Structure 1
């Protein structure tokens, strides 16, 4: 990915949102400024991820309206305005785009994806969730989580499990989260997870997080590239239960214990760590062989990743 100015990146993102959503936008309700021009990584495969493109658009500002708007499998675009206090996990249906207006926030609860397909979540802030901020499970496929900001909450910020597949997590900011991102929930779930859990994590900003960015079971090849890690507590990436992780082109600053091979009671996985830019960080481990990814991509110059990511990651 070439390095261009934040203004150019956000302009590209705006054009894509307009094209996908087929919305008639006015100056009074502008589309959010997003960091990139389209989905890349695993979510671009398996037929692609278009969310609610072509469906009707609605703007919501209450929990009841939001819960109703995101339900069902018909194509739809749900725009979030202001702060919405949720009382728990809200089930999101297939073929949905959830796009936050500037400053849009979900608090108190989170989003649940259960056997869903083709969903985009962009430009939202998540705070004080009482379970997970985002939970993806039961073979949900083709999901894209992009340009969101996560504060802190009870459990995981963005957990993916139970055979879910073809997912991209990009340009998000995680501020001080502990159990940030689980990929594969249990050592005993290999029968469902092996051959799935294909996720791309790129251009995310892990800002003072503690662990699980991500913690991987079974998935192969999980692609973790061009992320910025700073002031990390326990570790960055854990590979377990024979997972295969490609960890490349990241910028790690004060993240000394970057890679765990095995974690807790989980057996070790495999990881190839290469071309990472290190500041106050020892060389991340590699172990075993890891296959390449089945899609095209280009890495930013690793020493430039910090400036690129901090300029554009997170919600507006």
Structure 2
């Protein structure tokens, strides 16, 4: 959580890789101890074809692809057992187990609080109805790292705190094609020395605080960390933090669609370095801020963006080029509203 800003407008809820694909060539064993939590189906050899057809495929773009910190890109649970969970108990069990797992979330799962996700997990929604409601996922604890994690094709609603929190030095994370709305605090926070993250093709809506990057103005341990790519996300009527950045350099904000964001689009503070590139801002009075609230100014380079019914962006200083880390192409920003509206969110990939 973060303090020092406008309270959230919604009331608190009450319980209410790059070189590998996420296909598992052989599925072995029962996926853990004999007494696995109820609500879990474990893939067996005879079910291999069906499971492979159901598993999400693809690889990330951006910082999650970078070979660093002893990790070659982001592969999640590839190579581990494939399990399907339908209950909170089973989900909590498998996301917290040691070792690689491909965890398929089927249907609506009501959880409480934040479930700790540890290293080498792919958490993939099945079809169009996978949902985690009432709580959220926290990647890593102070003693159990949440590195090399993929979260795709899941709807997050009504979280009591954050919907997704990437924290405690988690690195190599890919958050892709999710739908996030109507929680209590942040929809997607990345903080506390986390690094090498890609946030892509997500739909953020019906919420105020969308995507925080950097814990607080006083948490200077984030300097030199928090390298994140945000691309092809739909910030749909959310108020602020798309993202709101402290200390990180570089952050790449690429080909996102901003529509009707009441407070601002992107804010760079506390000497963060943010490249805002190829985005489409529609009816956003303050598309880019340099400094925000009590936080000192950051640095922003903006290029090739479209501003329709929007204000003038603030810019300052220079930023490390993302191309020094990974290759990428930029879509024509004029195509972004149609492309992102059609492609962001759940049910848009083969899960």
CA contact (8 A) 2:22 2:78 kept: no
Corresponding position: 1:264 with 2:269: no
2: CA distance, partners of 1:135 / 1:67? 15
CA distance in 2, matches of 1:133, 1:176: 13
Find the counterpart in structure 1 of residue 181 from structure 2.
151
Quote the residue 1:9 is aligned against: none
> Is the counterpart of residue 302 in structure 1 residue 333 in structure 2?
yes
The reply on whether 1:252 has 2:252 as its aligned counterpart is no
* Number of residue pairs the alignment of both structures matches: 298
Aligned residue number for residue 305 of structure 2: 276
Residue 116 of structure 1 deviates from its aligned partner by 1.6
Specify the SS of the correspondent of 1:310: helix
Structure-2 residue corresponding to 1:18:
23
Q: Distance in 1 between matches of 2:135 and 2:233?
A: 22
Q: Does 1:44 align with 2:65?
A: yes
TM-score by length of 2: 0.82
Unaligned runs of 5+ in 2: 1-19, 28-42
Runs of 4+ in structure 1 displaced over 2 angstroms? Answer: 15-32
- Cross-structure match for 1:205: 234
- Alpha-carbon distance between aligned partners in 2 of 1:20 and 1:208, rounded to the nearest angstrom: 41
Deviations 1:139-189 (A, max 9, x none): 110000000001111000000111100000000000122111110111111
Distance 1:231 1:76, change over 3 A: same
User: 276-285 or 15-24, which moves further after superposition?
Assistant: 15-24
Superposed CA deviations along residues 3-32 of structure 1, whole A, max 9, x for unmatched, are xxxxxxxxxxxx954368978242997345
Q: Which runs of 5+ in 1 are unaligned?
A: 1-14
The answer to whether the 8 Å contact 1:21/1:77 transfers is no
C-alpha change, 1:181 and 1:21, in structure 2 (3 Å) is: farther
Q: Which residue of 2 aligns with 1:7?
A: none
The match for 2:256 is 227
**1:240/1:76 CA distance change after superposition, 3 Å:** same
CA 1:20–1:154 in 2, change beyond 3 Å: closer, same or farther? farther
Q: Aligned-pair RMSD on alpha carbons?
A: 1.9
Question: Does structure 1 residue 289 correspond to structure 2 residue 318?
Answer: yes
